[in-house]
Every structure is written in structure tokens, then in C-alpha cells.
Amino acid sequence: MSAGLLILIKFTLLSGIVLMYVALGGCFSEHSGVINIALEGVMVIGALFGILTLCTLPKNLPGFLIVTISILVAMISGMIYSSLLAFASINLKADQTIGGTALNILATAIALVVVKHYNSTISPDAQSPKLNFDNSLFIFNVGPFTLNVFIILGIILLIVSHFVLYKTRFGLHLRACGEHPQAADSVGINVYKMRWAGVLISGALAGIGGMAYIVPSVQDWNFEVGVGGMGFLALAVMIFGKWNPGYIFLGSLFFAVFKSLANIYDSTFLANFHLTKEIYSMMPFIASLIVLMFTSKNSKAPKAEGIPYDKGMR
Amino acid sequence: MKKGIAIASSIVCILVGLLFGLIFLLIINPAESISLGFTPLILAGLSSAFNPDWISAGSNLMKLGQEIANAMPIIMTGLSVAFAFKMGLFNIGAAGQYTLGAFGALYFALILKCPWYVCLLAAAAFGAFWGMLPGLLKAYLNINEVISCIMLNWIGLYGVNTIIYGNGNSKMFNSSQSKAYQVGTVNPDALIPSKIFGLDMFEIFKYRATTIGIFFAIIIAIVILIVLNKTTFGYELKACGFNKDAAKYAGINDKRNIILSMLISGALAGFGAGLFYLSGTVQWNPLDSTALPAAGFDGITVALLGLLNPIGCIFSGLFISHISVGGTMMPQSIFPSEISQIITGLIVYLCAFTPIIQEKLTKFIGAHKKTQQNANKEEK
Amino acid sequence: MADYVIEMLGISKYFPGIKANDNITLQLKRGEIHALLGENGAGKSTLMSILFGLYQPDEGVIKKDGQIVKINNPNDANDLRIGMVHQHFKLVECYSVLDNIILGVEPNVAGILHKQEAREKIMELSKKYGLQIDPDAIVENITVGMQQRVEILKMLYRDNDVLIFDEPTAVLTPQEITELMQIMKKLAAEGKSILFISHKLAEIMTVADRCSVLRKGKYIGTVDIKDTTAEGLSTMMVGRKVNLKLDKKKATPGEIILDVDNLTVSSNSSKKEAVKNVSFNVRRGEIVCIAGIEGNGQAELIQAITGLTKQKSGKIVLCDKDISHESIRYRSEHGMSHIPEDRHKHGLVLDYDLAQNIVLQRYREPEFSKFGFIKFDAVKKYAEKLIKKFDVRCGQGTDTIVRSMSGGNQQKAIIAREIDKNPELLITVQPTRGLDVGAIEYIHKAIIEQRDAGKAVLLVSLELDEVLNLSDRILVMYEGELVGEFKSSDVTTETLGLYMTGAKKDNITKEVTK
């Protein structure tokens, strides 16, 4: 039983931290006024380039550098990819939901093309959509727990996020743009710039999140899968967490418990119920629907989110 | 004039999408990018249609048949997305409704051994049920339909796979193939016929999945067009979509319309799945729970590219299917077929700013006309 | 040479299709209160937006202290110490008063906020000018009056010396208005120069030193207030003599058409009750007006009567039929017409054409549809008839997309639709908001015609002039209750003001239904 509890904690931490990264990303984007439904796709892109970097970096580099560089690449590629959303929704005032959906569709396609091409350059006959990598550098043990660098980095970023949003000039400006962009504009805040910043930060966090989802738990990944809806779950976590980093942390752990059930169902007491893996996989999605039912009435969503800002329209 | 510009903007989206596809091909392999990449990609079924080798074998239209077969479901999901859009709802849940529709069709075909038309109706009914849920949530709890649809997509997928697989004991699961049973072998009556009024689609195309389903899709598109533009229901629906407060003021029951339009939208998506899974070649794989059926998301592309017009959806559906088949006709060892998905993804991205493209086109044409007029004046 | 702090010389601004400002000159003296008068659409807001850096002028120059300056954005305006209180406050509702005041000019070290010094400066300013605020209150919880004080403090915190007030009294109670006038005078006495945008003559006469008048984008002239009268200003504003009083016959009320009994309605915005136990009735052939400051429950009351929201308790009777639980459509089909407050939100589907909007409630009637199909020919014919009858100006006839029509014509279309339904009860909320004098006169006449034709009219208006001119009977609403009932012939603005602010309160009892 205690072994069961231990792996429950292990998997909860693993996926909880991923949800936290991505939900924090969503939080920055929405506080600036842009709904980032493309988080799922940004995760895929971040994971793709982060892992590709991990695969291609010379093995004789110091471990610390390999870890840092690949995470940085995941972060930057997430930012670049999310800039497509920023451009469409901020500069061209396109529908944010449609733009985001397009980026989700596009991400999986890009990942497959890139991975297949990469594999075929290594061995000409391989068209596998899988990448193999070595994740040992990211993982370390503390007592009975297996931890990974993403957990440490995540906790740091959580605290930083809270500080930035509520204690700095930048945060005050950012949130003003999501609540009342006309007010922000009238006191000389550049709404477009702040929204770009919000979306880019969300891209960076979701990029790391994509890598954090895959790298610590497995040694190979089939990119046909994308990230299996984690980006969407993160959106639910963000709503559940009332767009506030602290609550988002708690919300991610809550959802991660549900998410972990599918990982541990066959090795714990849950096996006695003889339910399929799919039933457990369904759990976090059902949980988020139920959470939405109870939170939708008095939502704390930024008031101007989803509405393109047009200087001319006041 | 206005319609012309709208269509032109769609064409711009397609051209830019293709251009980026070409760029990807060039990056992957510049030497073969045109001959083995771009040409088969954009010609798709047309290249085989005029290929002497294929003509002599008599199967030259097979790829075109495949395009039609693949177009059926995405025209339907396109109609589904477009219909909900008229009501101001973004039905990103077409994928889940499609999944449920596929389940309905297969269950009635494999377990209840019903004839094809009953199975088709079952597919629509199951899709309608799954579409109704986000409608109910939106109408009564004011939950954003985009979020609830996304969640319901995954719930639907896991749920359907659980039932079809049933830990390997389900009667729908063929463990020797590790897929759901083939409809044609278990219950041939459940296959949609390929003959209608003496016209035999199979004779023409030599592709088994090319059925009379395409005619159903076209007829339904026309019906949807009439409903939207000529009936009081369509009037109400569009009023709600344009301005739901004014609709309420006018005495229109917006809750009822939200539920009803999502239900119809779901039925359309489910019906599309029925058309596809009762055509005889495809089998559901319940062991693959990781990705949602692409037809659901293709529906978004089809709807936007088709300018949310039902007739437009027929053409855009055929085009998206054409490009996808084109993707598979490139040599896969050099060019992954997913290039075509990149193109469709880009097209959706571009469609998100159709209004801006249309505005630019209008300005461009306006300026062009003015210079012409000026030129005419000067001549006089 | 007078000492001008701001000069706007020969300013022109074109928007597609209109000249919003046409060669306008405005000179603001140091330490004066300068009113800018004009109707809706005269170009006041455009001119001020130019001064505040939100728009760039197409022609003309702006001088600050005699120097030509270029104001590209609000930051530039702020650097020139020009500040503005916008008509719709630019406050972030979920922020504290303090955060709103410092937004954009926060004291900080390396980006980290240091609010303490800001707090001290704000409290000092608050004391100096008598602007009472609570720096830690959240803006969405404070009164409109305090929100305005926050806006004023925002300017003072930035050390602005040119203060623009854009229609500042529209949202205030008469008492708050008096207070604001005193504050403005105090600011001017301290050497601040004030631009005061308004279309309310009485306020301008009270507070301003000089007044510049705009009409249809053109500059008409500047006058000293001590040399002019309200009539003189209004003639300048409209370009002709305006009949400030409406001609109308004495009302001859008949039987009761609308009877509201103990109605209680929940608030749209909070958990409180917006309408508490309200009872009144409206008779055939009279115009009854609900007067009051915005947000005292009028909106909720009308929504309950028209069926847009469900009441908590109480009874609504229309022509002897209990309609308390009937649908919006039922009410509409049984003699109720409603000219809504917000024509863009409720009254029209802007992306439908005019014909489709004309039948917005009636498309289901057998006249316009058969077997669920709309008879577009009949709809078109009917719309053409109304366009003619009510003189609705529209570019492409019945096919005109309503979004492209002017506000006045949009409102005319709604009025045509609602009146031609031939209702027993006409409910009309703020029917002239945002319209020019011509349209206002037309609409007032149409409403009086309806009364004379024997309809019952229920009017909600925030403009006291309109209330007094149009109605026969006035009910004052304060915090969800009816606190006073008057004949419009024997009540003054001042009395109404006292009731509207809750300073006075009567016990209203509805006359017993016979």
C-alpha cells in the first residue's frame, strides 16, 4: 500500500509540474488579454526541439550544459511558435480561438515531418515518428523519491511568476491590459507590447512544459501522440486556479492525481476494480468538466481576454 | 462583388498554404522537391487519372475515388462546424461527435446487425447526443463550448475505445487483427451501397469506399443552406449568432437554439463518421487512444475555407481531401505525407484573418478600379 | 497678449466619409475653466482625443505655452502635463484605488513596485483638494462619484496642469454635480487650467469662464459666459432657435393598461435586490416616466416588465392579463412594445439588413412566414412601407445592413418597428441617448403622438429635461424603490434631485385599482 502511495506521489509530481508550467503560461497570456488555446501545440513544438537538441548535442559535453541548452531550446522554440499566435491575434486582430486551433493542428504535423525527416537522415530507411533519447541527466534520487530538474526549475518559476505578476511594474501593466486595455492605453502603456510579452512568456513556459512532460518519464516518444491533451488540461487547471499562480500550483496537483491514476491503475489496489486504462485516462477530463460546472458562474477571468485590442475603437 | 472577394480570399489562403508546403519540401530535399514532391502533392488523384499505365490497368480513377471517399466525412464535419458557427458557437468538438458517430454506426452494424440506413441514422443520433452535451452546458451553466468540447472529445474517445475493446472481450473487437471487426465481413447489409439509379460508383472508380454517401453529403449541404437562409429557424439561429441579446429581446429562445444547433451540429459530424466507417475499407482501432480522429479538426479547415457556406464546404472538403491524398502519393521515404497536414494547418491559420485579407483585396481592387477610371478619364 | 496655456489652431481631422473636425481653433487661458459645447457628433470628443494624443490631426498645430508641440500618444500628453477624465472612466475595476492612480507612473526600483511614497503623495493631494478616497478600496466596489475623484487624482498625481473633463456630470447625482463644480473651481483657483466638455447648458453657465462652441465638426465661436445666456449658447450649438419646451396637449388618462404589483427583482451585477416591492400603474393616454440616477434599479425593472429577466416576486398585469410568467414573445404579441436602452445590444441585429430587423419579433406571424419558411417578399414590402412612413434614411433601401446606418436612423427604424406593431403599451428607455437635436425632436413628437392616440407610455430617462418635458406623471426611483410621485407640471428639477438622491422620500401608495 505504501509502495502504491509512493508511486502515486511520483506520478502526481511528474504530471503536476507539467500542468503547472503550462497553466502558468496560460495565466500570463490570459492576464495580458490573449486566450492561448494553442498551449497544446506549443508544448509539442517545445518538446520536439528540446528533445532534438538533446539527441544531437555531443555526448561528451558536461551534463549541466546539455540540460541547460536543451531546456533553453525548448523554451525559445515555444516562444517562436507562440509568436505566430501573437502576430495573428494582436497585430492582425484575428480570432484567437481559430488561430490557436490552427497552431494545434499545425504543431503535430510539423513534429511528424521533422521527426521523420530527422530519422531518415540518420538511417535512410527509417520513417519512424519516434525519437529515442537518454534522460538520465535530468533525473536524480533523493531518498526514496525520484526527482527531476523540471521540478526544481518549476518551483522556482512558480515563485518568480507570483512575484512578477503581483509585485512588479511589469505585472501591474500586464494585468491592466487583460482587464481594461483602454485604461492601460490611456496611461501610456503599450497594450500591443504587453500582450506580446504575455504570449511569449506563455510560449516559453509551455515549451518547457512540453519537454517536462516527456523527458523525465520515458526514453523514447512517438510524436503521433502529440502531448495527449495535456495543454488543454492545463487550461482547465488555469481556470480552476483562478488565474493565480498559487492556486494554479494546488490545481495542478489536484488534476495530476487524476492524471496519475492511469499510470498506476495496474500496480496498486486499483487493479482490483478491473477497469480499463481508458477509464482512468478519462478521469482528469471528467474532473475538469465538473470543475468547470461549478466555477463558470463566478469566473475570475480577465475581463478583456479574447477581445482583440484596437486603438481606434475606444 | 462581395462574394467574389470572399472566394478570392480563400484562394489566397490556399495559395499561401501551398507555398509554405513547397518551402518545407525544398528544405527537406531540394533536388526532388518539385518532381517527386510538389507535383504529386497538388495533382494527387489527377496524376493517376491521366497516367497511361493506370489507364490501361483500368484503375486510373481509383485515387480520385479515394479523394471522394475521404471527402465525405470531412464535408460533414465541415458542415457541422459551419452550422454551429452560424449560431456563434465554435464546435471544436466535432472530433468527439465524430467518434461517437463512428461508435453508433459500428455498434448497430456489428452487434445489432442493422441495415446501412439504420446504422447511418444511429451514427447521426450518437453524434447528436454528444453535440447536445456542450450545448446543454453552455445554455444552462454558461460554460464556454470550446473548453467543454475539448474535454468531451477526450472523454468520448476513451469511452468509445473502452466499449469497443472491452479488455479484449468485446464482441466488436477482432483480437486477431487487434481492431474492430470489419463491417463488410460481419454484416454486408450495413455497407452503404455504391449504386444509385443505375449509376455505380464502384464501376467508375474501382475504389470500394466510394459510395453513394457523397450524394448524401451534397444533399445535406443543400438542405442546410435552405434551412439557414430561408426558414424562420435559420433566421433565429443567425440572429442568435450575430447578437444574442437582441435575439433574446426579440423573444427568441436562445437556450433552446444553442442546444438545438449543437445537437444538429453533432448529428452532422456523427453522420459523417457513419458515411466513412460504413464504406467498407476502414476499421476502428480501439487500442489507439492517443489521438483524436483527424476528420474532426479537418472539419474546422473545411468550414473556414468554405467561408462557412454549406456549398462552399463541399468544395473545400474535396480540396482538403485532394491534398491529403496528394500527401500520400509522394515517396514516403523522402517526403512524409504529413506535409499535407502542414498545408491544411496553415490554411486554418490564414483563415483566422480572412477579414483582413478581404479588406486588403477590396482596397486593392478599389484602387485598381480607380486607376482604371482615371486612365479612362485621361483618354477622354 | 493673453496668456494661453494651450492653443489648438486650425485643427482638421478626417475619418472615412466624414470631417470630424474642420479647421477648429481652441485657446485655453491659464487658470480658466473653458467649456467646450456641442451636440453629440459635433466633434468635441475627436478634438479632445487629438489634444490627448489618441488621434493625430490631419491639419493644424497644437501649442503648449506658446511652443508648437507634437502629441503622438497619451505619454506625450502626460509629459506636457495634460490629463483627461474620460466620459467612460478608464479604471481597472479589480485594482485598488492606489494601483489605479499610479498605473503607468509607478515609483519603482528596478521594476519592483514601491507603493509607500505614492501613498503619501496621494493622501496629501486628497487632503489639499478635498478629494476623499480610500486608497485600498477596490474600484469595482466604490461609488461612481469616488471613481471620478480617483480619475481626478490620477491627473493631479501626474502633476498635470491642463485638465480635460469629458462629460463628467453624465453619471453623477445633482448633489455630486454641485460638489464637482466646487472642486473644479478650486482646481482653477490653484492655477490649473480646465477644459470642460458638456452639452448641458446650465452646468456651463454655472462653472465656466468662457465657452467655445462646435457644430457638425465646425468651429462656431468662443464667448465669455458673463456676456451670454443659455438661449444664446443653445442657438450657437444647434444653429437655429430651439424650442426648449415641447408643445403638447393635456393628458387624458383612460383605463389602466399596465399594472405592476409588489415587484421585486434581483440585481444584474450583484447579489442584492435591485427592485424592491415596486407598485405602480400606467393608464391609456398618459406618459409615465421613471426618473432616477443610473443604476437605481430602472434597468432591472424594465427587464422584468418586458420579460428579459425573471422577477423574484410580484405581479405584472397587462390589459387585465397576468403576464408575470409569460415569455418575452407572449408579451410582445399581446400589446407590449419596447424601445430598448441600448439599441446596439438589444434593439438591432446590426449584421442583418433593415428588412430583417423590421420583423425582428414578427417573422413568425403568418403575414411573414408559412410552414416555417420566411416570406421574404412580404417582409421586404412591409419594410419599404415603414421606411417611407417613418422617413428612415438608408443607402440601399431594405437591403441596407443596419450597421452602416447612422445612430439616428437606427433609432428611427426601431421606433418604426415598435410603433407600427400598434401596441397597447409602449415602453421606451432613454430613447434619445446619443442623438442630435433634430432626431430628438422627431422622437419626442412620435412618443407624444402615441400618447394622444390612446396608448399607454412608460418612459425611463436619466435626462431631467426630457423627463420634465415629455412626461405627464413622474415616478422617482432610488435604490430600487419608488420614493416620489409627481405631476410633471408642478415639480422642479431641484425637488426631483432631492428625491433622486434619497434626501427626501415619500410613501408611495398606488391608487387602488377599480
For residue range A276-288, list pLDDT tens digits in order.
778 888 888 998 8
The chains found to touch C (3+ Cβ pairs under 8 angstroms) are A, B
Going from N- to C-terminal start, the domains of chain C cover 4-238, 243-335+423-508, 347-421
Statement: C243-335+423-508 belongs to CATH 3.40.50.300: yes
* Domain shared by B172 and B297, yes or no: yes
Residue B66 near residue B45, CB atoms below 8 Å:
yes
Amino acid at B66: Q
> Rounded distance, CA B127 to CA B136, Å?
14
Amino acid at C224: D
- The predicted structure's pLDDT at residue A297: 66
C-alpha cell at B4: 467574389
Question: In angstroms, how far is CA B267 from the centroid of its own chain?
Answer: 13
Over residues A119-147, the pLDDT tens digits come to 888 877 767 888 888 888 898 888 777 78
Percentage with pLDDT > 70 across chain A: 94
> Rounded distance, CA B4 to CA B14, Å?
15
Residue B126 near residue A250, CB atoms below 8 Å:
no
Shortest CA gap C361–chain B (Å): 5
User: To which H or E segment does residue A6 belong?
Assistant: helix A2-32
**Residue range A51-58: mean pLDDT, rounded:** 92
* Domain shared by B156 and B305, yes or no: yes
Question: Would the pLDDT of B3 be above 60?
Answer: yes
Question: Would the pLDDT of A313 be above 80?
Answer: no
* Domain shared by B356 and B291, yes or no: no
Percentage with pLDDT > 90 across chain B: 49
User: To which H or E segment does residue C482 belong?
Assistant: strand C481-487
> Rounded distance, CA A223 to CA A207, Å?
15
Q: Do B249 and C372 touch (CB under 8 A)?
A: no
**Residue range C126-155: mean pLDDT, rounded:** 90
Percentage with pLDDT > 70 across chain B: 96
Over residues A155-192, the pLDDT tens digits come to 999 999 999 999 999 999 999 999 999 999 888 899 99
Question: Would the pLDDT of C342 be above 60?
Answer: yes
C-beta atoms surrounding A6 within 10 Å: 14
Diameter of chain B measured on Cα atoms: 86
Alpha-carbon dihedral angle through residues C193, C197, C203, C206, given to the nearest 10 degrees:
20
Question: Would the pLDDT of C513 be above 50?
Answer: no
Over residues C281-334, the pLDDT tens digits come to 999 999 999 988 777 888 899 999 999 989 999 999 999 899 999 999 999 999
C-alpha cell at A201: 512568456
- The predicted structure's pLDDT at residue A265: 76
> Rounded distance, CA C48 to CA C27, Å?
13
Question: Would the pLDDT of B210 be above 90?
Answer: no
Residue A181 near residue A304, CB atoms below 8 Å:
yes
Q: Which residue has the higher pLDDT, B112 or A296?
A: B112
Assign B48 a pLDDT band (cuts: 50, 70, 90). Answer: confident
Q: Do C350 and B242 touch (CB under 8 A)?
A: yes
- The predicted structure's pLDDT at residue A288: 87
Question: Would the pLDDT of B217 be above 90?
Answer: yes
Per the structure, how many domains does chain B have? 2
Question: Would the pLDDT of B363 be above 90?
Answer: no
- Chain B residues with CB under 8 Å of A102 CB are 345-346, 348-349, 351-352
* Domain shared by B273 and B349, yes or no: no
Q: Which residue has the higher pLDDT, C11 or C489?
A: C11
Question: Would the pLDDT of C396 be above 60?
Answer: yes
| Alpha-carbon distance values, B156 to B98, B159, C34 (Å) | 9, 5, 67
Q: Could you say which of C93, C103, C112 has the minimum Cβ distance to residue A187?
A: C103
Q: Do A235 and B147 touch (CB under 8 A)?
A: yes
Question: Would the pLDDT of C242 be above 70?
Answer: no
Q: Do A188 and C104 touch (CB under 8 A)?
A: yes
Identify which of A25-34, A304-313, B49-58, C457-466 has the greatest average pLDDT: A25-34
* Domain shared by B182 and B252, yes or no: yes
* Domain shared by B190 and B175, yes or no: yes
- Chain B residues with CB under 8 Å of A95 CB are 352
Residue B305 sits in a domain whose CATH number is: 1.10.3470
Strand duo C287-291 + C473-478: pairing = parallel
- The predicted structure's pLDDT at residue B312: 94
Assign A204 a pLDDT band (cuts: 50, 70, 90). Answer: very high
CATH number (1.10.287, 1.10.3470, 1.10.8, 1.10.390) of A10-298 reads: 1.10.3470
Alpha-carbon dihedral angle through residues A175, A179, A183, A188, given to the nearest 10 degrees:
30
- The predicted structure's pLDDT at residue B83: 96
What SS3 class is residue A16? helix
C-alpha cell at C265: 427583482
Assign C1 a pLDDT band (cuts: 50, 70, 90). Answer: very low
Domain that holds residue B250: 58-327
- The predicted structure's pLDDT at residue C514: 34
Task: Give domain status of residue B83, yes or no.
Answer: yes
Question: Would the pLDDT of C507 be above 80?
Answer: no
Give the global pTM.
0.87
Contact with chain B for residue C343, Cβ under 8 A = no
* Domain shared by B117 and B254, yes or no: yes
- The predicted structure's pLDDT at residue C512: 42
Candidate from A128-132, A270-274, C185-189, C462-466 with smallest mean pLDDT: A270-274
Question: Would the pLDDT of B123 be above 70?
Answer: yes
The chains found to touch B (3+ Cβ pairs under 8 angstroms) are A, C
- The predicted structure's pLDDT at residue B61: 86
| Phi/psi of residue B122, nearest 5 degrees | -60, -40
Mean model confidence pLDDT for chain C = 87
Task: With both helix axes pointing from N to C terminus, report the angle between A277-295 and A245-264 in degrees, rounded to the nearest 10.
Answer: 160
- Sign of the alpha-carbon torsion through C369, C373, C375, C380: positive
**Residue range C42-54: mean pLDDT, rounded:** 87
Q: Do C105 and A179 touch (CB under 8 A)?
A: no
> What CATH homologous superfamily does C4-238 map to?
P-loop containing nucleotide triphosphate hydrolases (3.40.50.300)
Question: Would the pLDDT of C177 be above 90?
Answer: no
| Alpha-carbon distance values, C433 to A251, C298, C411, C463, C473 (Å) | 47, 16, 10, 9, 21
Nearest to C406 by CA among C444, C350, C341, C462: C350
C-beta atoms surrounding C325 within 10 Å: 11
> Rounded distance, CA C346 to CA C341, Å?
8
Going from N- to C-terminal start, the domains of chain A cover 10-298
**Residue range B261-283: mean pLDDT, rounded:** 93
Q: Do A106 and B300 touch (CB under 8 A)?
A: no
